[in-house]
Structure 1
């Protein structure tokens, strides 16, 4: 094992480039997943005839598919019908599709956790259903969702490593390139990327725990 050679300034800089790509893909995916998942989860909660049933079918189908399959489909299958996205966009779309379905279920569960009597009370005070949902139910539900949402975002960050199969230049992809230079670098580089993932996810998990404590 060659820790000194593996941790040279050039190698560390190269790894940070990959880590930057990991964070960029994760942040964009988190934002889009939260927006789309929030909309889908709200539709599921409101049980709008026909529309909610379609959303349920889509969400449940995607939730039961492997993320790796979705990544490969967006990168390899879509070009066959003339849609060429590139590895970065393909990875983001695959992550958003998959994570949105997970977040939709979190949102639906959070909304369901708010007592139904509050909607009835709001309606009796003159608010419309949408006004009651926006001003009374959503704020309460969001507080209860936060720990689960943060946990899901942690999973999303880790899931970006699956995009290595489509050569996305993220952290694990760059680590593999460095390891290919010298077999003595394999263990040191694996230890380093494990520490990087651990550090970021541990901080996020602490945030989730603190937010969860605030709800009790």
Structure 2
């Protein structure tokens, strides 16, 4: 019991919170850019641009079937070998963005395809152009269907940032390892602290998802 109390000293908690801040920073930046890129890629696949859609589809399938850890290694070590040297923070962020963009592209494409074709036909029959129908009629309905899988993927991204500890990103897990590395009696308390912090962040995101679902359902 004394080990638990000692492990949760303010100094250790503050150190963990510093790691959590890095985790959130990488996650937020990756989420923003991967959503933008994923939306572009998803739309490109959906509208079936000649040849371009096929190329985009191949790239998406390639990235989705690669381990995230491999992409991390490629960005951090591989790019350095060709003269492109990124900091640990931006290497992790870029790797997360690349991987998540491919995952989100498929979610967005399938979300749009889930909207009944009759919706677009009705929009065109009422005088809207294809792009107007897509923007005004199809996308708002698709967004409702996309929210749960999108948020689920965002939550996975937050948890996947722990993989970046392999390239020594000073995120939450890495900081916890340093704490219990100095005192092995702190291993279980640190794991408990990690579980609580990851749960709080991810559960808060799931609450936002539920709120958006209720809001859009009106």
Q: TM-score range by the shorter chain?
A: over 0.9
Cα drift, residue 127 of structure 1: 1.9
CA displacement 1:110-151 (0-9 Å, x = unmatched): 100111122122223222211111111111111110111111
State the partner residue of 1:16: 17
- Name the counterpart of 1:41: 42
SS of equivalent residue, structure 1 residue 138: helix
1:70 aligns with 2:89: no
Task: Give ranges in structure 2 of 5+ residues lacking alignment.
Answer: none
Q: How far, CA to CA, are the matches of 1:209 and 1:148 in structure 2?
A: 12
Alignment partner, residue 132 of structure 1: 133
Q: What is the CA distance between 1:210 and its match in structure 2?
A: 5.4
* Residues 151 and 208, structure 1, Cα contact 8 Å, conserved in 2: no
1:131-183 deviation digits (Å, cap 9, x = unpaired): 11111111111111011111110000000100000000100010011111111
Aligned to 1:94: 95
Residues 45-102 of structure 1: CA deviation (Å, up to 9, x unaligned): 1011111001100000000000000011100110000000111000011001001111
State the TM-score, normalized to the length of structure 1.
Answer: 0.95
What value does the CA root-mean-square deviation take over the aligned residues?
A: 1.6
Within 5 Å, give how 1:45-124 maps onto structure 2.
Answer: 45-124=46-125
What secondary structure is seen at the aligned counterpart in 2 of 1:114?
A: coil
Alpha-carbon shift at residue 212 of structure 1 (Å) = 5.1
User: How many corresponding residue pairs?
Assistant: 216
> Residues of 2 paired with 1:117 and 1:182: CA distance?
64
* Structure 2: distance between partners of 1:57 and 1:98: 14
TM-score under structure 2 length normalisation: 0.94
TM-superposition CA deviations, 1:169-198 (whole Å, max 9, x none): 100010011111111111111111111112
**What's 1:172 paired with?**
173
CA distance in 1, matches of 2:213, 2:162: 27
Which segments of 5 or more consecutive residues in structure 1 lack a partner in the other structure?
none
Structure 2 matches for 1:196-215, cutoff 5 A? 196-209=197-210, 211=212, 215=217
Q: Which runs of 4+ in 1 moved over 3 A?
A: 206-216
Matched residue, 1:3: 4
